[in-house]
Amino acid sequence: MEFQFTIIVPVYNEIESLPRLFEYLQKYLKSASLRSCVLLVDDGSSDGSASAIEKFCLDHDDFNCLLFDKNYGKGAALKAAFDYTKTPLLGYLDADLQTHPEDFELLFPYIEDYGLVTGWRKNRKDTLVKRISSKTGNAVRIFFTKDNIHDTGCPLKIMHTAYAKKIPMFKGLQRFLPAMILLQQKEIKEVVINHYPRIEGQSKYNFKNRFLGPLLDCFAYVWIKKSYIDYSLKAKHG
């Protein structure tokens, strides 16, 4: 039986989180409503994460990995994973486990009718600074993208792989997934999910990369929106 759903997990210096991540993913794969596999993308980690991921994947048939030669950023990790994925559906999960894989089950009922279904961390379990910076960054993105998503940065999403593969490569890609699906004239859906405090490791985000970086990325998005090419075939012969 072929896999139907690929769970993409970008990883950057998360060696402390990996044992629990592997445990939670293995547990979910046994109960998932769709036959699922995992694709871990190490984004040039320097703490041993890449070696741990490679070893684990060699021992587990439903786990695969891509290992970058240096740190390219989460947008690059996601784009590489989109290009590599072969299943009809794919999902995105952060390695810090502030969202849990079982909540993909909350999104699956809607994916047939939408291009992308994303989580909404309505009850955030983050520090005050992180919540404020995320809320500010989200407001800026909504101003530019008009996607009207409460929680654009939520790291739990599912989408049709065919649409994901048509998203152009750019830094900060992860912040604009709903907007990029809207560019393809597909509808998006937001569903309330659970959110958990970070237990291991350190957050890679601060006010600078949650606000200033996304602000610059918004201008890139405006250019892409103006220049984006999309098409559908009426027929194909030969």
Q: Which residues pair with 154 in a beta bridge?
A: none
Strand order in the sheet with 36-42: 63-67, 36-42, 5-11, 89-92, 157-160, 116-120, 188-192
Alpha-helix residue ranges (DSSP H) falling in 90-212? 104-107, 128-145, 161-164, 177-182, 207
Selection from 137, 140, 134 nearest residue 122 by Cα: 134
Instruction: Determine how many CB atoms are found less than 10 A away from the CB of residue 33.
Output: 11
Task: Please name each of the domains of the chain with its CATH number.
Answer: 5-227 (3.90.550.10)
Phi, psi of 228 (to 5 degrees): -65, 135
pLDDT at 85 over 80: yes
pLDDT per position as a tens digit, 192-211: 999 887 777 666 555 555 55
Q: Identify residue 222 by its one-letter amino acid code.
A: V
Q: Identify residue 50 by its one-letter amino acid code.
A: A
Q: Beta 157-160 vs 89-92: how paired, if at all?
A: antiparallel
pLDDT per position as a tens digit, 156-167: 999 999 999 998
Instruction: Determine how many CB atoms are found less than 10 A away from the CB of residue 134.
Output: 22
Task: Extract the tokens encoding 205.
Answer: 């985000």
pLDDT at 144 over 80: no
pLDDT per position as a tens digit, 169-193: 777 777 778 888 888 889 999 999 9
Output the pLDDT for position 198.
Answer: 73
pLDDT per position as a tens digit, 40-59: 999 999 999 999 999 999 99
Q: Is 71 exposed, middle or buried (0-12, 13-18, 19+ CB in 10 A)?
A: middle
Task: Extract the tokens encoding 125.
Answer: 């379990």
pTM, 2 dp: 0.80
Distance between CA atoms of residues 34 and 26, nearest Å = 14
Output the pLDDT for position 188.
Answer: 92
